[in-house]
Amino acid sequence: MRIVITSGEPAGVGPELCYYLATQAWDHQLVVIADKKMLATRIEACAHSASRRSDYGLKAITLRDYDPTHLSPSVSGELTVLDLKLNAPTVVGKLERANAPYVLGMLDRAHQGLITGEFDALVTAPISKEVLDSKEHPFTGHTEYLQQKCGVKRVVMLLGCPQMRVALATTHLPLKDVSAAITPQVLTEVIEILDHDLREKFGCPNPHIYVAGLNPHAGENGHLGREELDVIIPTLEKLRQQGIDLKGPLPADSMFNAHNLKDASAFLCMYHDQGLPVLKYAGFEQGYNTTLGLPYIRTSVDHGTALDIAGQGLADPNSLKCAVALATEMVHARKRFAAAHANPKA
């Protein structure tokens, strides 16, 4: 198995977080896409920082050039690097718009390798929308960019931690636009993708999906909004008739209770800040992000570029390690799913 990792915004914590991957051995090969010279500088600074974390056994590591013809598990003390040159010098903690093509170039190279089968999964370190977004080339995030690259109609953002998985019906929208964006078609497509990928990529044979209402108290039978009555409830009922196990719509303020946490394969929330504060409170340092609906596996850290602590050795690598571990589990689950559903006559 070969997992490709994009090192993210070069001025942020992404490059130094990659260092921590080399403090342990892995059963598969990890390939980091980065400017090798920049990565070496950031890693050296991180390893020698007076304020560095001391709980990961930091030590000198060797950077190995990536050879696509050589597949072997990553060993402790080494990091395999697919060298991609920066467009401009980078200063830790300071964004440089000239490096936007470099950041997108990492994603494009990873996408190419995933489509051809060179890589089995993608893990992304955080990037800055401020650097990448422009009037000429709008950029709203990894999720939407990879969706466009893959040419798929819809993708679903799912974030998780050991306690729960939370999927989103809408993602990066102003709150005033959320209600209009929740249509029967959107909900149907999101739930069908979520149900399918829970089976294929997470190994859930019979997913239990808990769905939040949009309004307080899930609309309280129309007294606090009609979206539940007019859109959400009829859509859920049609999907139940297709065999999808759905609970709800449920009031979001009580949906994440202990009983539901034990039973739910995933929670579906109507908008970004409805479910993610709960998830990030429960497991911020162990959180991950994954994009469902793509033809390949993509996971990510559950935090931003953290420019304010970049280069100081203070960034916590747990989220990146969780994202790598999740990508590994998803690859295995997908292989089991494919084997179970293979046509014996093919």
Q: How, if at all, do strands 156-161 and 164-168 pair?
A: antiparallel
Exposed / middle / buried, residue 286 (Cβ in 10 Å: 0-12, 13-18, 19+): middle
Residue listed under structure tokens 């070496």: 40
The rounded distance, in Å, linking the Cα atoms of 66 and 246 is 45
Q: How, if at all, do strands 245-250 and 121-124 pair?
A: unpaired
Residue listed under structure tokens 């950041």: 103
Structure tokens belonging to residue 187: 């909900």
Sequence ranges of the binding site for a divalent metal cation: 172, 217, 272
The number of C-alpha atoms within 13 Å of 8 and in the hemisphere containing its C-beta is 29
Single-letter amino acid, residue 182: I
The rounded distance, in Å, linking the Cα atoms of 140 and 158 is 16
Q: Spell out the SS3 assignment of 17-30.
A: HHHHHCCCCCCCEE
Sequence ranges of the binding site for substrate: 142-143, 280, 289, 298
Sequence ranges of the binding site: 142-143, 172, 217, 272, 280, 289, 298
Structure tokens belonging to residue 39: 């990565």
Structure tokens belonging to residue 64: 């190995």
The rounded distance, in Å, linking the Cα atoms of 105 and 82 is 12
Alpha helices (H) in the chain, listed in sequence order? 14-21, 36-48, 100-116, 129-132, 142-150, 178-181, 184-200, 227, 233-241, 252-255, 258-263, 272-283, 318-340
The rounded distance, in Å, linking the Cα atoms of 106 and 146 is 12
User: Contact at 8 Å (CB) between 166 and 157?
Assistant: no
Could you tell me which of 107, 147, 141, 108 has the C-alpha nearest to residue 295? 147
